[in-house]
Structure 1
Amino acid sequence: METQPTSSDLEQFRQQWQQEVSARAQQKPTRDITTNHVRTKSSNEQRQRPERPVNRPPGRHPLAEEHDGELIPESSDQAVRVASFESLNLGDADADEFSKLGRAEPTNALEHYERAVEKEAQGKLGDSLSHYRTAFRLDEGVDQKYKEKYFAHKWKATRPNPSNAAPTVPSTAHHSQSVEAGGEAVPQTTPQLIASFADCEIEDALPVIEGDAPPPCPIKKLPTEVLLELLGHIARIDISIYARLASVCKKLAYHVYTEFGIWKRVSLGPEFGLASQKYHFATDIQGRPVIWSAVEEEEQDADERPMPPVTDALFPASQDWRGFFHSYPRIRFTGVYISTVNYTRSGGTSVTPSTWGSQVHIVTYYRYLRFFRDGTVVSLLTTHEPIEVVHLLTKENISLVRSGKAVDAMKFTGVGQSFSQQPNMPPPPSAQNILKHALRGRWRLCHPSLDSVDVASNSIVPGDLHIETEGGAGPRYLYTMHLSLKHGNARNKFSSRNNKLVWKGFWSYNSISHDWAEFQLRNDKAFWFSRVKSYGLGY
């Protein structure tokens, strides 16, 4: 027999319900006010029409206010602010992620899950979803197995010599650890470890046959002055090889770490440093060198003033040149910057009653930017994947396509095996269709002296990049991109730097009516740098 609720219980329930309704009513106006404020602000910004001279893009784009992270403040101690050698290592110099290699199809749940993660990182959400579904059909707990395989080492970090271990357990501490007064071993800092390598010598090579005499080591007999001169030449040829020398022996690690004169030469030199950057437009849109400037231009912007040459006088005397080379904004010529854009849109309504919901289409396209040392750039917007595009992005191929010559005359930047297993095979016909949409342009970077110059406009700050390309709608149009060099993982100072280009604005300029039109970057993402082996060092 069910009991009837009393009047006191009903009254208590009614009071609680009224309190919840009142609390929700008080929160709703605040949310509406914020929404109306953002909507009013965005509508006002759209009504404003940028009126700028031809030689300068319009003002700051609203997307520039989106921050993707802040750098961890560096310590004032010079010994703590040192950077890791691994961050300067470009990886395997022979590695090329844009080459087609024969890969076996996944057979178990874990392999399907790994392939799904890889496809998701590449922006192929459709293929990634298919592999995810297959993986979970085969094993419901495949995600836990994936975490155990790739992230268990972070959870199960062990100490070299636990405090509760028996006294007979030998300690794994070696010469890189020091002992405090209390007897507890503490690891040395990186500067202390490197300083202990000062008196080391270059070790002999190991014998080919065990017990036999080791082979001679001529570099061991070189004086220090000659050795440093040799290391300087290696750094100017390829900085990644110079950084990898630190893992050869302790003596070379000491020189690579402490010889700031070599790092200063590389940071300011024309090979990889600031002298290789362009701080004024050196060419026109078609790539022809600029040998004159307009005399009638009376008003010049802050970035159009004559800038001093890039020398060490622009920087403090106590500059850490190794950290400077690692983190100061500069364009990289050994690869291509790629922006992978994914967005969804609703499809047509299905007429069959077996479907549960409406169709959703996943749209994927790519933006490519390849920079050249002469101040030119190639921009391409296409739906083709990077493996089909990056080996074709050369100025010579674009000229051949526009001249109407046969596609057989086109050349790859590598041996051509990215498209066929036979190196002598001509490029596919689709290569011409890809490059007919490529746009030629020019680029310039913000001058280092603007660090100490009071710029009135917010559109020019250190690390900003200005790009002007041909207009895709016709010869009367000009595209202007405003980007900013950022770091991929801003919170980790040892991660790779200058590998990300963030949008600040994108405009179209009509040279006849002198009108600016702004592109709304609703779905566009940032550009990420990818090394391409066939590009070499970008010369």
Structure 2
Amino acid sequence: MEKQPTSSDLEQFRQQWQQEVSARTQQQAKGSNSNHVRTKSSTDQGHRPERLINKPPGPHPLADKHDEEVIPESSAQAVLTERLGHLDIGDADADEFSKLGRAEPTTALEHYERAVEKEGQGKLGDSLSHYRRAFKLDDSVDQAYKEKHFAHKWKPSKPNPSNAAVTVPSTAHHSQSAEAGKQAVPQTTAQLIASFADCDIENAPPMIEGDAPPPCPIRKLPTEVLLELLDHIARIDISIYARLASVCKKLAYHVYTESSIWKRISLGAEFGLASQQYHFATDIQGRPIIWSAVEDEEEDIDERPMPPVTDALFPANQDWREILHSYPRIRYTGVYISTVNYTRSGGTSATPSTWGSQVHIVTYYRYLRFFRDGTLISLLTTHEPIEVIHLLTKENIALVRSGKTVDPMKFAGAGQTLSQQPNMPPPPSAQNILKHALRGRWRLCHPSLDSAEVASNSIVPGDVHIETEGGAGPRYQYTMHLSLKHGNNRNKFATKNNKLIWKGFWSYNSITHDWAEFQLRNDKAFWFSRVKSYGLGY
């Protein structure tokens, strides 16, 4: 049985409870008195009493705890953005004639870099203005430019101090370093590609970790079927075929070592030597020429049609990939541009001082666009490439020469061609540019010419002969003799066949049969520039 509480115990509990209540009441009274005194003192000093502000509750302590292995979504996105920000492969088919917004330079070094860029493009007026601004901001900006772009050429990467202590070489140390050096010798490209022979095409990684990877049907194809597929890709676009080498090791091995595909492309009519014109296939106006062979009359080498290019003209163990890369070929996917700059004196000054004498910087451009049928367009103008290259089509020239007059409100845009607007001619500005364009024809030196024929005709492999209309009238005809060269011969992997240098330029009078040679005093070489709107040149 439980023990019942007595009256004495209840009385003792009641007294203890009363003492606790009275102590708590006295403590609350003291706190209110102190707050009242503080408020009164602050009010007496002239300060405004503090107002109560509704503030949101603070974060829970557990909110600051994060699992070290789990990255928040925002942090993961920031890290991924930072990593991908450094990756920029660009557009492989992009050209340099698109108007892109660029920030104006602000510092002296930025002005100097922009001036060097403009000077390389042939825009000497803009280059001179940037040079002046750069030297106004910093008179030693040229030294800063050299330190930034050319310091690595003369500064040693590991300088050896003159006061370095002389140490005794260790035999064991040198033997270990020699063994490490033997193991660290890098492989050649051929050895590296050969090691990919036994690799397989791997599946793409799963989108979710732990899930099954997506299917890869091309992995199950036999080698014969895969090579046939690669051959079709190479015929459609050789640049896409070359970029397949960066997909996986197996495709890199086939792209690099499959000589039959490179041979087909090198001798084919899509991008190879069969697409070149080794004789004049048309007249200057672009009409096809019908050849007729006369047995009794000896034919001139410059006029007879040449045989097709076959593998019999090349050695048996020839690298066909190198043939396609470096053998003389005219490119149809862009335009060859020659930028010419020269200076001439301006008006004479009224005072004998030469500080006020004017000097004019003259800039003009020559354009050559080649077509697969043996025709071409030649243009000499002062307009910049971005205003001209999209107008160089045979359809636009035919419309301009037709003399049609259309309401100016119905003109097409300056960048549109006939294929985009079939019923509208170019705008008046484009007509002003294209009225100076000249039609013509071209041919390339045939690789089967022997040394005797080359010596008698003063031509070498890679020479290009061009005949165009005369700019002074229908009785004149222009003849150009150019030679295909590589822009950078030192770099093995640099772009090839991207330069046309002058060998001669003449004018022929069809009535008097007189020849007049132009003095190429200021003219520069032609450089090839890719134009995306041209496609593959078909």
Would the aligned equivalents of 2:205 and 2:213 in 1 still touch at CA under 8 Å? yes
Find the aligned partners of 1:347 and 1:536 in 2 and give their Cα distance: 44
Find the counterpart in structure 1 of residue 214 from structure 2.
215
Find the counterpart in structure 2 of residue 247 from structure 1.
246
Find the aligned partners of 2:354 and 2:194 in 1 and give their Cα distance: 69
Cα 1:157–1:308 shift into 2, 3 Å: farther
Would the aligned equivalents of 1:335 and 1:531 in 2 still touch at CA under 8 Å? yes
Find the counterpart in structure 2 of residue 276 from structure 1.
275
Would the aligned equivalents of 1:378 and 1:393 in 2 still touch at CA under 8 Å? yes
Find the counterpart in structure 2 of residue 187 from structure 1.
186
Gaps spanning 5+ residues in structure 2: where? 1-88, 159-177, 418-422
Map Cα deviations across residues 207-258 of structure 1 (whole Å, 9 max, x no partner).
3234433222211111111111111111111111111111111111111110
Find the counterpart in structure 1 of residue 72 from structure 2.
none
Find the aligned partners of 2:105 and 2:358 in 1 and give their Cα distance: 28
Find the aligned partners of 1:464 and 1:129 in 2 and give their Cα distance: 37
Moved more, 396-405 or 348-357: 348-357
Find the counterpart in structure 2 of residue 495 from structure 1.
494
In structure 2, what residue type is equivalent to 1:244? R
Would the aligned equivalents of 2:109 and 2:141 in 1 still touch at CA under 8 Å? yes
Taking structure 2 as the reference length, what is the TM-score of the superposition? 0.73
Find the counterpart in structure 2 of residue 234 from structure 1.
233
Map Cα deviations across residues 113-145 of structure 1 (whole Å, 9 max, x no partner).
222122111101111011011112223343344
Find the counterpart in structure 2 of residue 261 from structure 1.
260
Would the aligned equivalents of 1:180 and 1:186 in 2 still touch at CA under 8 Å? no
Count of residues in correspondence between the two structures:
424
Find the counterpart in structure 1 of residue 468 from structure 2.
469
Find the aligned partners of 2:414 and 2:222 in 1 and give their Cα distance: 41
* Secondary structure, counterpart of 1:208 in structure 2: coil
Find the aligned partners of 1:142 and 1:213 in 2 and give their Cα distance: 58
Find the counterpart in structure 1 of residue 127 from structure 2.
128
Find the counterpart in structure 2 of residue 510 from structure 1.
509
Find the counterpart in structure 2 of residue 390 from structure 1.
389
Q: How does 1:10-29 map to 2 (within 5 A)?
A: none
Displacement of 1:205: 1.3
Map Cα deviations across residues 422-479 of structure 1 (whole Å, 9 max, x no partner).
xx99954211110000000011111110156643425221111011100111111111
Displacement of 1:309: 1.9
Find the counterpart in structure 1 of residue 437 from structure 2.
438
Map Cα deviations across residues 308-361 of structure 1 (whole Å, 9 max, x no partner).
221111111111101010000010000000000011112222235776253221
Find the aligned partners of 1:296 and 1:512 in 2 and give their Cα distance: 30
Cα 1:412–1:396 shift into 2, 3 Å: farther
Would the aligned equivalents of 2:411 and 2:424 in 1 still touch at CA under 8 Å? no
Find the aligned partners of 1:328 and 1:274 in 2 and give their Cα distance: 9
Map Cα deviations across residues 240-285 of structure 1 (whole Å, 9 max, x no partner).
1111111111111111110111000000000000111111111111
Find the aligned partners of 1:346 and 1:468 in 2 and give their Cα distance: 34
Find the aligned partners of 2:502 and 2:443 in 1 and give their Cα distance: 15
Find the counterpart in structure 2 of residue 65 from structure 1.
none
Cα 1:379–1:297 shift into 2, 3 Å: farther
Q: How does 1:344-363 map to 2 (within 5 A)?
A: 344-351=343-350, 356=355, 358-363=357-362
Q: How does 1:43-82 map to 2 (within 5 A)?
A: none
Cα 1:250–1:142 shift into 2, 3 Å: farther
Displacement of 1:103: 2.6
Find the aligned partners of 1:535 and 1:157 in 2 and give their Cα distance: 47
Find the counterpart in structure 2 of residue 525 from structure 1.
524
Return the index of the structure with the highest Cα Rg: 2
Displacement of 1:378: 0.2
Would the aligned equivalents of 2:341 and 2:362 in 1 still touch at CA under 8 Å? yes
Displacement of 1:392: 0.3
Residue 200 of structure 1 pairs with residue 196 of structure 2: no
Cα 1:297–1:286 shift into 2, 3 Å: farther
Displacement of 1:150: 4.2
Find the aligned partners of 1:380 and 1:121 in 2 and give their Cα distance: 21
Displacement of 1:287: 0.6
Would the aligned equivalents of 2:342 and 2:363 in 1 still touch at CA under 8 Å? yes
Q: How does 1:281-292 map to 2 (within 5 A)?
A: 281-292=280-291
Q: Which protein has greater RCO, CA pairs closer than 8 Å, 6+ apart?
A: 1
Would the aligned equivalents of 1:260 and 1:320 in 2 still touch at CA under 8 Å? yes
Cα 1:296–1:469 shift into 2, 3 Å: farther
Find the aligned partners of 2:200 and 2:156 in 1 and give their Cα distance: 34
Find the counterpart in structure 1 of residue 110 from structure 2.
111
Cα 1:515–1:425 shift into 2, 3 Å: closer
Displacement of 1:102: 2.6
* Secondary structure, counterpart of 1:502 in structure 2: strand
In structure 2, what residue type is equivalent to 1:484? S
Cα 1:451–1:530 shift into 2, 3 Å: farther
Displacement of 1:190: 1.1
Gaps spanning 5+ residues in structure 1: where? 1-89, 160-178, 417-423
In structure 1, what residue type is equivalent to 2:138? D
In structure 2, what residue type is equivalent to 1:289? P
Cα 1:414–1:385 shift into 2, 3 Å: closer
Task: Note the aligned Cα RMSD (angstroms).
Answer: 2.8
Taking structure 1 as the reference length, what is the TM-score of the superposition? 0.73
* Secondary structure, counterpart of 1:235 in structure 2: helix
Q: Percent identity?
A: 86
Residue 142 of structure 1 pairs with residue 141 of structure 2: yes
Would the aligned equivalents of 2:396 and 2:426 in 1 still touch at CA under 8 Å? no
* Secondary structure, counterpart of 1:455 in structure 2: helix
Q: How does 1:292-441 map to 2 (within 5 A)?
A: 292-293=291-292, 298-351=297-350, 356=355, 358-406=357-405, 428-441=427-440
Find the aligned partners of 2:272 and 2:515 in 1 and give their Cα distance: 35
